[in-house]
Amino acid sequence: MLALAIGCGTISNVLGSASSDANTTFLPAGNWTLTFDDEFNGSSLDTTAWTADSGYTCDDAQTCLASRWPENVTESVGYLHLVTKKEERVAGRPYTTGGIRSVFTQQYWYVEARIR
């Protein structure tokens, strides 16, 4: 089995070491191998692991109100920030936001992330 960890704490926590920390995460029972993790503690997005969305990335004008721009994606001190702003760069999209896509591929994943 394979595990993917994104912004979950230390690798030892993701792999299930014992800890009294309330934020410790544990994988389900089984033989897991960590294949990818990113703690977002650099000064910018790791472009070997992620691609920032750019421009018009949605075909449905009824449900997609934002266009996505790389400058709306920032990373610092263990946090990935996807910022949404009220500004229209693409006609009919009154907001801009940040979005990322992983360049990592794998058939089956177990993913853990802390999202706020």
pLDDT of 90-101, one tens digit each?
Answer: 888 888 888 898
pLDDT at 23 (0 to 100): 52
- For the chain, residues with pLDDT lower than 50 are 1-5, 7-22
pLDDT on residue 4: 46
Domains of the chain: total? 1
Q: Supply the pLDDT for residue 10.
A: 43
Half-sphere exposure of 106 (CA within 13 A, CB side): 14
Helix locations, the chain, DSSP H: 11-14
Which pLDDT score, from 0 to 100, does residue 60 have? 60
The pLDDT value recorded for residue 76 is 86
Three-class DSSP category at 20: coil
pLDDT of residue 107: 84
In which residue are the tokens 């400058």 written? 71
Task: Give the predicted TM-score (pTM) of the model.
Answer: 0.66
pLDDT at 59: 64
Say how far apart CA 31 and CA 33 lie, in whole Å. Answer: 7
Residue 85 domain boundaries = 2-113
